[in-house]
Each structure stands twice: as structure tokens, then as C-alpha cells.
């Protein structure tokens, strides 16, 4: 089991929580993700017991850590109460935008990230609301400054639908799998949200740049995926 | 005047709390409709009704300390309220329960209990005085109780001072802009409305004092 960090998505609405689980699960098929939405009698609100049950079920199911994401105020307060009462180092709250954070957290968990890595990924999700170019600008700049042995490749995006959620997740996972820093059109290629933020459509030109011990292999693998249309069509 | 308050007081406080929340349910809903999501009265009413059910359940262990009663309130509110009031009040009662672990509390105990409750609310909600929240009622209440305790007053006097300060504190939220919770989305539009959580806090502390005074009005050493 590569994805041992599990997620609980807590929303005021059962439907919203379930929907967020669906979206996140699509990007991270091996991650255990549970919804804890609404009150026990199906109203809008948050249930301490539903959150607690979701967390303990995941821990009992073998999760090494559980990261909890919430939508609004009382969901966060309720989840924090659960974390306090359980008093278990494996259970952490992640303060991040609900949907974007859940997706980022799921992708990080899918890549084997521990609770800290999953939390950090979720928190960077807020950057997806800004100018996406600024998301990667810092990291791309750092990479350029740190490395002189960069490998570069350009490839045309074949998918008719462009770099939407599923291929973006595939690409981000691929980028994270190698010991390399990869950027795509200037943004961090390991960040699914940064990739989606580019809004690349079919036919767009992708400029890949990588540094690090496995830079060449990383680009090779990514280019192969892009040229195969990510298995879509 | 009772110098100390016991499990009977705590239990009766809970019963009166449920009653007063029920009586003011619509008023709290209206306050929350004005600046929040409108569920405060309903949520709190449901929570305290569930507390009564738990209290009257023959399977519930008989509370032996004031803290036992408060802990029962805490866990039930957390599980049943459904809005922010659940974890906020739940944490308040839970922290208060921890410092009231004996069969009675004196004035210093009341001050400590209220201080612990404030600590819980602040830890959970991260609000400060002036943010237009429950904290605006509880903080002056705890300070007033401490003043009475330090001056050698009784537990009942400490509670009455706390209730009076909480009432003033709740009213002090009327002109404020909210900086926490759903009301913070309203900006200036929250001005002129009382914070529902501060109002319910003032109601709960008022009945705590009422029950203590009623107990003291009976003969000293009355059954209980």
C-alpha cells in the first residue's frame, strides 16, 4: 500500500463532502478518503460523531496518518475538537481551501506523502487562486539558480480536452516519482493545481525543464505520457 | 447564601439552561438570521434537549462531581449541536469540568471554572474580546467572578457578578463588526446586531446564578 496517509473531508453538507471525495479520489485512486458531511440526521451542519467515526475507521483500516480538511467555520471547530479529544499524533488538521486542498492533499498522499507533506501540498492550494504564473515563478527561479545542468524538452499536448484534472494528476505524479525538479511552462510540474491553473488546451505547446539526478528520465517519461495522449481518446 | 455549590446545583443549572434556551429559541434564531446562518437557537435547543435526555437516562452514571455534570453537557453538545456552538460550548464545558472535579465548588472554584471555560472557547475559536463572539460575554464574566472570589465573596455572589458582566458583555457586541465566524462575511452590516453566541452565553450564566440563589434561599443544609 503506497498511499498510507488517508483523508477525511468534512463539510456542512453531506453532498458537498461526498462530491469532494469523488473529485479527489479521481486523482488518487489508492488513497483512502472518507466524507464526513452534514449532521447525523441529514441537516446542514457538522457532526462530531461522524468526523470521529471517519477518522477512527481509517486508522483501524491501517492508515498511518489521517489528514482532515474542512469547509467552513464550525466544520473546522468540530474537526479540531475531534483531533483534541483523540489526542493521536497520527491525526492532523489541514487548514486549506476545501476542494482545491482536498485534491492537492490526495495527489500528495497518492505519491506516498506523509501527513506533513500532504498538509503542505494542501496549503499551497491557495496559490491556485492567484496568478498561476506566480505559483511556479519562485520555484522555477530557484531551480534555475540552483542548477546548471537543466534538461529541456518541448512537446505538443494531444488531448482534445487539454490538461484537465486526470492528465494533470497523472503528469504531477510522474514528475513527483523521479528524483528531479520539473517545471512545465514555468510552474511546478509536481503540483496538480499549478498544472491545472495553466489552463492548457489541446494543441498547446508544453515546455518542460528538469534538473536533478533523474532529470532526463523524468522528462522522457512525461513526454511519453503526453505523446500517448495520457491514454485518452 | 450558599458558600459552595454542589452537584445538585450543577444538575439544576443544566435543567434550567435547557429551559431558558427553549424559551429564547426564536430570539436566538432571529439574532443568528440577522448576521449568521440562522441555526443558533435551533441547534442549542436540540443540544440541551439531548443533554436532558442523557441526564434522565437511567443508564447514565450518577454524577459524583460538578465536573461530571459539566462533562456530560460537553460531550452531548459536541455530538448534537451541529453548528459552531457545539465545539465552542463543548470545549468550554469540557475545560470547566476538568477544574471542577470535586463534589462542590467555592467562589474560587467558580472563578477557575469560568476562566477554564474562557480558555476553551478561545483555544477553539481563536477569537479575542471585541471580535463580536461569545468571548465578549465570557471574558468579563470570568474576570468578575475572580474579583468576587478574591474579595472573599461566596460562590453564589461570584456567579451573580459573572452573570451581570456577561449580560453587559453580550450587549457590548451590538455595535461591533464581527471578525470571526459567519458574521465576519457581513462586514459593516453586522453592526447593530447582537452576537447570538454572546446572548446565549449571558442567558446560561444568568440561570447559573438564579439557580444558586434559589438554592441559597432554602434553609442552609437543604436536601441535596
Higher pLDDT, A39 or B224: A39
Nearest to A77 among B37, B39, B124 (CB): B124
pLDDT at A26: 87
pLDDT at A148: 56
pLDDT at B53: 97
Cell 461566596, residue? B154
pLDDT tens for B207-223 read 999 999 998 876 444 44
Q: Do A74 and B86 touch (CB under 8 A)?
A: yes
Cα–Cα nearest to A70, from A86, A46, A39, A90: A46
Provide, as residue numbers in chain B, all residues whose Cβ is less than 8 Å from the Cβ of A77.
84, 86-88, 124-125
pLDDT along chain B (224 residues), means of 10: 86 98 97 92 97 96 97 95 94 96 97 97 94 97 97 97 98 95 88 97 98 79 41
Q: Do B83 and A47 touch (CB under 8 A)?
A: no
pLDDT tens for A175-212 read 988 889 999 998 899 888 888 888 888 888 999 999 99
pLDDT at A36: 97
As a whole number of angstroms, the distance between CA A66 and CA A91 comes to 5
Q: Is the pLDDT of residue A132 over 90?
A: no
pLDDT tens for A135-180 read 444 444 444 444 457 899 999 998 888 888 888 888 988 898 888 9
pLDDT above 70 coverage of chain A, percent: 89
Q: Do A77 and B78 touch (CB under 8 A)?
A: no
Q: Do A80 and B124 touch (CB under 8 A)?
A: yes
pLDDT above 90 coverage of chain A, percent: 55
Q: Looking at CA atoms only, how far is residue A127 from chain B in angstroms?
A: 21
Q: Looking at CA atoms only, how far is residue A4 from chain B in angstroms?
A: 28
Q: Do A80 and B87 touch (CB under 8 A)?
A: yes
Provide, as residue numbers in chain A, all residues whose Cβ is less than 8 Å from the Cβ of B87.
48, 74, 77-78, 80-81
Q: How far is CA B198 from CA A131, A213, B121, B136, B164, in A?
A: 40, 59, 12, 6, 13
Phi, psi dihedrals of residue A93, rounded to the nearest 5°: -95, 140
Active site annotation includes A12: yes
pLDDT at B106: 97
Least confident of A29-43, A218-232, B47-61, B192-206: A218-232
Amino acid at each position: 500500500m503506497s498511499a498510507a496517509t488517508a483523508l477525511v473531508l468534512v463539510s456542512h453538507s453531506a453532498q458537498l463532502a461526498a462530491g469532494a471525495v469523488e473529485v479527489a479520489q479521481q486523482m488518487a485512486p489508492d488513497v483512502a478518503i472518507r466524507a464526513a458531511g452534514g449532521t447525523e440526521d441529514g441537516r446542514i451542519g457538522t457532526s462530531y460523531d461522524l468526523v470521529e467515526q471517519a477518522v477512527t475507521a481509517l486508522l483501524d483500516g491501517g492508515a498511518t496518518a489521517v489528514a482532515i480538511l474542512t469547509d467552513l467555520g464550525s466544520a473546522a471547530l468540530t474537526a479540531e475538537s475531534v483531533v483534541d479529544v483523540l489526542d493521536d499524533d497520527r491525526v492532523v488538521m489541514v487548514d486549506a481551501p476545501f476542494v482545491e486542498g482536498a485534491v492537492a492533499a490526495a495527489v500528495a498522499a497518492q505519491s506516498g506523502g506523509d501527513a506533513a507533506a500532504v498538509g503542505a501540498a494542501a496549503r499551497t492550494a491557495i496559490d491556485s487562486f492567484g496568478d498561476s504564473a506566480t505559483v511556479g515563478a519562485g520555484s522555477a527561479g530557484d531551480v534555475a539558480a540552483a542548477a546548471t545542468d537543466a534538461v529541456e524538452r518541448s512537446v505538443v499536448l494531444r488531448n482534445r480536452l487539454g490538461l484537465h484534472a486526470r492528465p494533470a494528476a497523472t503528469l504531477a505524479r510522474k514528475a513527483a516519482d523521479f528524483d528531479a525538479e520539473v517545471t512545465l511552462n514555468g510552474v511546478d510540474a509536481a503540483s496538480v493545481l499549478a498544472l491545472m491553473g495553466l489552463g492548457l488546451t489541446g494543441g498547446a505547446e508544453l515546455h518542460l525543464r528538469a534538473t536533478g539526478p533523474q532529470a532526463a528520465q523524468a522528462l522522457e517519461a512525461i513526454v511519453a505520457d503526453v505523446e500517448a495522449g495520457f491514454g485518452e481518446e | 447564601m450558599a458558600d459552595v455549590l454542589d452537584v445538585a446545583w450543577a444538575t439544576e443549572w443544566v435543567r434550567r439552561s435547557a429551559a431558558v434556551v427553549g424559551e429564547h429559541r426564536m430570539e436566538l434564531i432571529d439574532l443568528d438570521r440577522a448576521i449568521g446562518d440562522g441555526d443558533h437557537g435551533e441547534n442549542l435547543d436540540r443540544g440541551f434537549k439531548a443533554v436532558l435526555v442523557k441526564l434522565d437516562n437511567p443508564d447514565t452514571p450518577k454524577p459524583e462531581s460538578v465536573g461530571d455534570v459539566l462533562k456530560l453537557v460537553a460531550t452531548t453538545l459536541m455530538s448534537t449541536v451541529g453548528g459552531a456552538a457545539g465545539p465552542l460550548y463543548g470545549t468550554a464545558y469540557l475545560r470547566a469540568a476538568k477544574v471542577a472535579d470535586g463534589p462542590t465548588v467555592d467562589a474560587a472554584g467558580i472563578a477557575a471554572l469560568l476562566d477554564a471555560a474562557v480558555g476553551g472557547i478561545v483555544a477553539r475559536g481563536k477569537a479575542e474580546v471585541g471580535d463580536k463572539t461569545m468571548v465578549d460575554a465570557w471574558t468579563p464574566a470570568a474576570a468578575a467572578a475572580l474579583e468576587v472570589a478574591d474579595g472573599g465573596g461566596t460562590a453564589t455572589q461570584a456567579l451573580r457578578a459573572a452573570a451581570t458582566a456577561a449580560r453587559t458583555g453580550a450587549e457590548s457586541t451590538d455595535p461591533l463588526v464581527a471578525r470571526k465566524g459567519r458574521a465576519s462575511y457581513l462586514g459593516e452590516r453586522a453592526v447593530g446586531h447582537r452576537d447570538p453566541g454572546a446572548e446565549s452565553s449571558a442567558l446560561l450564566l444568568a440561570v447559573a446564578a438564579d439557580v444558586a440563589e434559589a438554592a441559597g434561599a432554602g434553609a442552609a443544609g437543604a436536601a441535596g
